[in-house]
């Protein structure tokens, strides 16, 4: 019940429907994230883990379009401040050493937890994607090659699978840009269907940060930018993760 109460307070509190419950809001101090700068947050969150497989690396299923654009952005990580965001099997791997607020991380047994967008392990069948983040401009690019397990209308990407990947790219971008952690709302307008096996590029921007909320936008299009597949927006709630002293 604590969990439910907490959630209600965090989200509804901002809409004024739970007046007086703001004492339940998590402590917020973006400038002191991890006791240092955004740069430190990014380098800590994006470090490689020896024990955790990074799914955001090329594999045999990646087509020429996906590979060449990947290498283009990899080059930008050396020259233009872009960061390749690693992608582990669970968010538990990303936040090792931190504790989630209150009872948010309740389930911690030995189940095979998986980040939803990494739930399909067979290469090329489901989500193939990699996110690159640009800290100084608070924006991301996600290269997305959808496999045949993401089908909706025969031959094309299920709208829900695109929505889920945009939400995931929002989520990582929001966290790295200012500790945005929970999706408050999400909106998507579909313009064209994405053929399975093709390449789609998600262009994500943090538009505004205000009152513990982060406002993000996404345009999903073909590599040549001639076809817009979808436009989306989302709002995230900022939450500060504290060091987990019990694990040190």
CB of 201 to a second copy, least distance (A): 16
93 is catalytic: no
Residue with Cβ nearer a second copy (7 or 77):
7
Instruction: Report the largest interatomic distance among the alpha carbons of the chain, rounded to a whole angstrom.
Output: 55
CA distance 38 to 179: 9
Tokens of 84: 């390749």
Residue with Cβ nearer a second copy (79 or 107):
107
Q: With 0-12 CB in 10 A as exposed, 13-18 as middle and 19+ as buried, what is 151?
A: middle
Tokens 């990407």 sit at which residue? 157
**Cβ neighbours of 101 (radius 10 Å):** 17
Evaluate whether 233 touches 215 at the Cβ level (below 8 Å).
yes
Chain residues that interact with a second copy, rule: CB under 8 A: 3-4, 7-8, 11-12, 90-92, 95, 100, 104-108, 111-117, 119-120, 125-126, 148-156, 158-161, 163-168, 171, 181-193, 195-197, 227
CA distance 63 to 134: 24
CA distance 40 to 94: 14
Residue with Cβ nearer a second copy (43 or 192):
192
Residue with Cβ nearer a second copy (78 or 189):
189
CB of 90 to a second copy, least distance (A): 6
Beta bridge partners of residue 210, listed in sequence order = 213
Residue with Cβ nearer a second copy (82 or 235):
235
Evaluate whether 222 touches 201 at the Cβ level (below 8 Å).
yes
- Active-site choice (65, 93, 103, 167): 167
> Can you state the angle between helices 38-45 and 159-178, rounded to 10 degrees?
130
Annotated catalytic residues are: 167
């Amino acid at each position: 019940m604590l969990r439910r109460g907490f959630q209600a307070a965090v989200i509804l509190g901002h809409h004024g429907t739970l007046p007086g419950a703001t004492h339940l809001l998590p402590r917020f101090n973006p400038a002191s994230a991890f006791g240092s700068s955004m740069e430190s947050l990014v380098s800590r969150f994006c470090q490689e883990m020896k024990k955790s497989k990074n799914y955001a690396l090329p594999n045999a299923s990646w087509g020429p379009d996906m590979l060449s654009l990947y290498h283009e952005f990899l080059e930008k990580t050396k020259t233009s401040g872009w960061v390749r965001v690693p992608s582990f099997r669970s968010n538990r791997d990303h936040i090792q050493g931190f504790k989630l607020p209150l009872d948010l991380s309740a389930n911690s047994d030995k189940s095979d937890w998986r980040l939803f967008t990494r739930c399909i392990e067979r290469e090329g069948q489901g989500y193939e994607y990699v996110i690159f983040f640009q800290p100084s401009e608070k924006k991301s690019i996600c290269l997305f090659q959808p496999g045949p397990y993401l089908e909706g209308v025969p031959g094309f990407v299920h709208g829900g699978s695109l929505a889920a990947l945009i939400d995931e790219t929002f989520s990582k971008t929001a966290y790295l840009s200012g500790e945005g952690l929970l999706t408050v709302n999400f909106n998507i307008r579909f313009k064209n269907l994405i053929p399975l096996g093709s390449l789609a590029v998600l262009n994500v921007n943090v538009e505004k940060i205000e009152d513990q909320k982060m406002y993000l936008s996404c345009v999903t299009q073909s590599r040549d930018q001639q076809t817009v597949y979808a436009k989306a927006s989302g709002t995230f709630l900022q939450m500060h993760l504290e060091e987990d002293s019990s694990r040190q």
